Chain A
Amino acid sequence: MNKADRMMRIHTAAAAFGVCIAAALIPAPASAQVKIGAVLSASGPASFLGDPEKKTFDIYVADINAKGGINGQKLQMIVYDDGGDANAARTFATRLIEEDKVVAMIGGTTTGSTMAMIPAFEDAQTPFISLAGAIEIIQPVRKWVFKTPHTDRMACEKIFADLKRRNLTTVALISGTDAFGHSMRDQCVAVAPHAGITIATVENYGPTDSDITPQLTKIKTAPGVQAVINTGFGQGPAIVTRNYRQLDIKYPLYQSHGVASKQFIDLAGAAADGVRLPAAALLVADKLPDNDPQKPIVVAYKKTFEARTGQPVSTFGGHAYDGLMIFAQAAQRAGNFNPAKVRDEIEGTKGYIGTGGLVNMSPTDHLGLDLSAFRMLEIKNGDWALVPESGS
C-alpha cells in the first residue's frame, strides 16, 4: 500500500487506542444493579400459578426501584420460564447462578421444579425463597431454602378439621401424579389417623389428563366414602371437578390451595359451586372483618394487582409478593446484599404480615406460618366465600 493509506491506518489505530484508554479511565457509574433471579412456570400446566407470580414481580420490582431501590441500589429481576418442567428449571437455576450471578432467588412455582433447583442453590450458598407448596421443601430444614406458601400438610390439617366439624370421617383421595399432588396425598395419609379420619381409597390422574371419569367412577362405587379430597394444581383439578358433577357424585368435594385462583372457577364453570378449599385470606380480601390484621395488606395488594393487570387476584401472586417483600426487608436490615447476611436476616423475619398470613421464621421453621393463616373457603356462585369456623 502507498504512504497515504499507511498514514491513515496508523492514525485510525491511534485514535481507537486513545478512545479505549479514555473509556477505561472513566469510572463505572455508582448505582450498579443488584440481580435477583426467578424461575417460574409461566407456561404449561402450572401457568395459572406462574403467570400471576411473574406479573407480581414485574409490578413490585418496578415499584421498589421507583422508590429508590434497596440500600441505594436498584433491583434487576431476571425471570426464566421453565414451563412446568423440573429439568428445565434446574438448567435455568444453574444459569442464574453461574452467568447472571444473582444474590438471591425467589421462585420455583411448583414443588417439582423447586426440589430440582434446591441442590444448585445450596451449593452456590444463595438464599432461595420458594413459591411451592410441599412440606418437604422446608422439612428437613435446609440452611438456604425458605418458602412462603402454606404447606400441603397444613392444607390436610385444615380440611380434616372442617370435615370433623361436619361429622364426616371417611374420605377418598384423588391426586395428581405431579410432585405437589403426590406430596399432599402422602401428607394427608400420614396426618389422617391423628385427626380421626379414615382414608377409604386413593386414586391418581396425570396432570395433563383430559378425562378423569374412570378414576372418579371407582371412587363413586367405593363403599363408605363420605367426602372426596382432590390434591393437585392447575388444569387437573378443574377437569376432576367437571367430571365429578358430570358423574353426579353427591359427596362434598374439597380441593387444595393449588387451585386458589379465579382461573380454576372459570375452567370448572358451574361445577365449582359447593367446592371447599383452604386458602389465604387474599381471596376474600374485601369480605374480611375490619379488625383483621391482614386486611390492609391484602386489600392493597388486590387493588394494585387488579388495576395493573386487569385480572382477578390469586394467592399465587400473593406468595410471590410475600417472597419479594421478605427478601427486600431482610436486605434492608442486613444493609447490604451479601448472600449470607441476607439469609440470616430472612431467617430472622418476625412479625411480617403478608398476603399469606403472619410470618415468624426461626432456624427450625423456614416458613413461619401457622394454621390460623389458612382460611376455609367455599365457592358460591362463581366467587369465594368465607366458611365460618368456630375456633380453628
Chain B
Amino acid sequence: MAEFLQFLFSGLTVGAIYALVAIGFTLIYNASDVVNFAQGEFVMLGGMTTVFLGYVGVPLPLATIVAILATTAVGFALYRLAIATAREADAVTLIIITIGASIFIRGVAEIVFDKRFHSLPPLLSNDPIRVGGAAILPQSLVVLAGALIILLLLWAFIERTMFGKAVIATSANRIAARLVGIDTQIIVGACFALAAAIGAIAGILVTPITLTSYNVGTLLALKGFAAAMLGGIGSATGAVVGGILLGLLEALAAGYVSASYKDAVAFVVILTVLFAMPHGLFGKTKVERV
C-alpha cells in the first residue's frame, strides 16, 4: 500500500508540471488555433532567468517577478514577430513557425545562460511530508496548488471579464469577432503573453524539484502537448485533468511495468487519443456546417 501511495505522489508531482504546460497550450490554441510548441521554452525561461538573476545578486522574490515579466515579453514578441507577420497562413505553417521559434529560443538561452543544470530553493521546506509510509515534497503540493489556482483565475478571467468574453468570441469565429469591433490582434497577442507568463510561473515552481537547464523545454512541450490532447485540446479543465492523468500513468508504468519505458507512455497516449478519441476527454467535437 505504501508503495502504491508513493507512486501516486510521484505521479501527482510530475502530473502537476504537465498540467501547467498543458494550460498554456490550451490558452493559445483557443485564441488562435495554433499549437505553440515553444510553450516548453517559456517554462525553461522562467526557471533559468530566475536562477541567473539570483546568481548576479538579485533577491529571489524580485528575480521571480522580473523573470515572469521577461518571459511574458518573449511570448508577446513571439506573437508579434513570428505569428502575426505570417498573416493568414494556415495552421500547419504556424505550428512549424513555433517549432522554429522554440529552437531559436533554446539556442539563445544556451549562449546567454550556460549548458549546465541549476536548481532553486523550494518555497516551503525541503523536508518531505510523510503520509501512510510514503513521502511527498511540500514543493509538489505547491505546484499542484499553483496549477489549481491558475486554473481558477483563468476561468474567472475568461468567464467574468469583458476581455475574457472577447477571447471567447475570437476563438469561436475570428472574422465575426472582428466584425463586432474586437481587435483580434491584441486579443491573440495577450493570450500568447498570458500563456508565456503561466509557463514562466510553472518553470519557477518546478525547478526546485526537477532542476532546470537550457534544453528542458523540448521534452516538457511534448509531454504537455500529450496531456493537452488527452484532456481535450481547447479545454482548460481538460488540460489539468490530462496533465495529472498523464503523470499518474507515467509513475504507475515506471513502478509496475518498467522504468525504461516511462517516456514512451506520453507518446503511446498521444497515439491512442488520436486513434480512439481525437477530441480527448473534455474537448468538444467540432461541428462544421456544410
Could you list which residues of chain A lie within 8 angstroms of chain B, going by C-beta atoms? 42-44, 47-48, 51, 177, 203-206, 208-211, 213-215, 217-218, 221, 235, 238-239, 246-248, 263, 266-267, 269-270
B250 CB to closest chain A CB, in angstroms? 9
In chain B, residues 199-217, which have Cβ atoms closer than 8 Å to a Cβ of chain A? 209-211, 213-215
In chain B, residues 235-262, which have Cβ atoms closer than 8 Å to a Cβ of chain A? 251, 254-255, 258-260, 262
Chain A residue at minimal CB-CB distance from B4: A217
Could you list which residues of chain B lie within 8 angstroms of chain A, going by C-beta atoms? 2-3, 6-7, 9-10, 13-14, 17, 110, 115-117, 119, 126, 128, 130, 134-135, 137, 209-211, 213-215, 219, 251, 254-255, 258-260, 262-263
Report if A246-B255 is in contact (Cβ < 8 Å); known contacts: A47-B115, A48-B116, A267-B117: no
Complex Cα gap A209–B254 (Å): 11
- Some 24 contacts from A to B, beta carbons below 8 A apart, are A42-B115, A43-B110, A43-B115, A44-B115, A44-B215, A47-B115, A47-B213, A51-B116, A203-B259, A204-B260, A206-B259, A206-B263, A209-B259, A210-B209, A211-B10, A213-B135, A217-B255, A221-B2, A235-B211, A246-B135, A247-B135, A248-B128, A248-B135, A263-B117
Chain A residues, Cβ within 8 Å of B262: 206, 209
Chain A residues, Cβ within 8 Å of B17: 210
Report if A215-B211 is in contact (Cβ < 8 Å); known contacts: A44-B115, A47-B115, A208-B219: no
Complex Cα gap A228–B119 (Å): 25
- The 7 closest A-B CB pairs, nearest first, are A43-B115, A210-B210, A214-B255, A214-B254, A217-B6, A213-B10, A47-B115
Chain B residues, Cβ within 8 Å of A217: 2-3, 6-7, 10, 134, 255
Report if A214-B115 is in contact (Cβ < 8 Å); known contacts: A44-B215, A204-B259: no
A205 CB to closest chain B CB, in angstroms? 6
Partner pick for A215 among B117, B210, B259, B263, CB 8 A cutoff = B259
Report if A210-B259 is in contact (Cβ < 8 Å); known contacts: A246-B135, A267-B119: no
- The reply to whether A215 and B254 form a contact with Cβ atoms under 8 Å apart is yes
Q: What is the number of contacts between chain A and chain B, taking CB atoms within 8 Å? A: 91
B202 CB to closest chain A CB, in angstroms? 13
Report if A270-B6 is in contact (Cβ < 8 Å); known contacts: A211-B209, A215-B254: no
Known: A48-B117, A215-B259. 4 other contacts (CB 8 A): A208-B219, A214-B255, A246-B135, A247-B128
- The reply to whether A270 and B210 form a contact with Cβ atoms under 8 Å apart is no
- The reply to whether A213 and B117 form a contact with Cβ atoms under 8 Å apart is no
- The reply to whether B2 and A214 form a contact with Cβ atoms under 8 Å apart is no
- The reply to whether B115 and A239 form a contact with Cβ atoms under 8 Å apart is no
- The reply to whether A263 and B209 form a contact with Cβ atoms under 8 Å apart is no
Report if A270-B126 is in contact (Cβ < 8 Å); known contacts: A47-B116, A177-B260, A238-B117: yes
A338 CB to closest chain B CB, in angstroms? 36
Chain B residues, Cβ within 8 Å of A213: 6-7, 9-10, 135, 251
Complex Cα gap A239–B251 (Å): 16
Report if A218-B260 is in contact (Cβ < 8 Å); known contacts: A210-B14, A210-B211: no
Chain A residues, Cβ within 8 Å of B210: 210-211, 239
Chain B residues, Cβ within 8 Å of A204: 258-260
Chain A residues, Cβ within 8 Å of B254: 214-215
A272 CB to closest chain B CB, in angstroms? 12
- The reply to whether A214 and B211 form a contact with Cβ atoms under 8 Å apart is no
Chain B residues, Cβ within 8 Å of A266: 119
- The reply to whether B3 and A221 form a contact with Cβ atoms under 8 Å apart is yes
Complex Cα gap A248–B9 (Å): 15
B96 CB to closest chain A CB, in angstroms? 23
Chain B residues, Cβ within 8 Å of A211: 10, 13-14, 209-210, 251
Complex Cα gap A213–B140 (Å): 13
The CB with the most chain A CB atoms within 10 A, among B9, B134, B135, is that of B135
